[in-house]
Amino acid sequence: MSLQYDLIALDVDGTLLTDDHVLTEEIRNSVQEAADRGAQIVLCTGRGPSGALPILKELGLSGTVITHNGAATINADDHSIVHQFDMIPEHLLRYVSYCRDNGIHFDLNTAFGMMVESITPDAEVMYGHYQAKPAIQDFRLGLPSGLVKFTAFGSKEKMDEVQAEWAGWSSELHFIRSGDFFIDIHHAEASKGKALQQLADIRGIDRSRILAIGNYYNDITMLEFAGMGIAMGNSPDEVKSAADAVTFPNSEDGVAKALREYAWL
């Protein structure tokens, strides 16, 4: 059997990993098989490089990772930045003030760094799951340059409230729900789909030769750009509607089943 796709883009949380943040042997073997058959495997994740690169290593692979929901594309081998979408720090001040005033935990991210003003026990546990180690910094002295992502973190109910309020704001930036407990803010042009398109252009790969698998709202642009976009069975209905096909949930090795059903000729 041969591959019918040259590039396979894979979301990490809720897709490659179980809800307990585990990469199963079945998933690892199926992704390695696709790579051995010649597919370029690209992780496309909301995580920063510190959380994405260990997953790539666990898969036994190297190459390129699209991080921060497309805001920074990184070469794993030498940690060089292929491309990033910088935000203007002043555009974030309203969001920073809102989170401070409402007691919502948030972090600021450069391509490789993560910074917080303070950290709660819940946030510390959350960062452990994603292999992230934020530095504590006083943002009242000014926001750093080179920012690619701002993330608000809280309960699903609180993030629902925040999302509803921010949706009514006029802003130069774009926000996306990247998980039940997270809202991410980026440059208006940053998305997984845009970053995947840029990478495909660099490598001379037609979109018809790209397969993408994801599970959440931040994956929709990637699923729509790829020649074959596959939503996980654990995806919200809106994500499933944006995909060409739906596979099994991440709790049932959906990525492995999708690769074996759709990737081989």
Other CB atoms within a 10 A radius of the CB of residue 204 amount to 8
R_g of the chain, CA atoms, integer Å: 18
Write down the pLDDT at residue 141.
83
- Provide mean pLDDT across the span 161-189: 95
Mean pLDDT of the 249-254 span: 98
- Please answer whether residues 250 and 19 qualify as being in contact, where contact means their C-beta atoms are separated by less than 8 angstroms: yes
Question: What is the rounded distance in angstroms from the CA atom of residue 161 to the CA atom of residue 154?
Answer: 10
Q: What is the pTM of this model?
A: 0.92
* pLDDT band for position 2 (cuts 50, 70, 90): low
For the domain bounded by 7-84+190-263, which CATH number is listed?
3.40.50.1000
Structure confidence at residue 264 as a pLDDT band (50, 70, 90): confident
Four-point Cα dihedral 112, 64, 177, 125, nearest 10: -50
Q: Which CATH class is domain 89-187?
A: alpha beta
Q: What is the mean pLDDT of the chain?
A: 95
The domain limits of the chain are 7-84+190-263, 89-187
For 240, the enclosing helix (H) or strand (E) is helix 237-242
Average pLDDT over residues 236-253: 98
Q: Give the pLDDT score at 140.
A: 85
Judged against a pLDDT cut of 70, whether residue 265 lies above it is answered with no
Predicted local distance difference test score (pLDDT) of residue 4 = 87
**Structure confidence by residue, pLDDT tens digits, 104-131:** 999 999 999 999 999 989 999 999 988 8
Of the candidates 20, 13, 26, 81, which has an alpha carbon nearest to the alpha carbon of residue 59?
26
Q: In what order do the strands lie in the sheet with 114-116?
A: 135-136, 114-116, 105-109, 149-153, 182-187, 173-179
pLDDT digits (tens, 9 = 90+) for 87-106: 999 999 999 999 999 999 99
Read off the pLDDT of residues 6-54 as tens digits, 9 standing for 90 and up: 999 999 999 999 999 999 999 999 999 999 999 999 999 999 999 999 9
Percent of the chain at pLDDT exceeding 70? 99
* Burial profile 87-110: b = 16 or more Cβ within 10 angstroms, e = fewer: bebebbeebbebbeeeebbbbbbb
**What secondary structure does DSSP assign to 98-131, as a single string?**
HHHHTT-EEEEE-SS-EEES---HHHHHHHHHTT
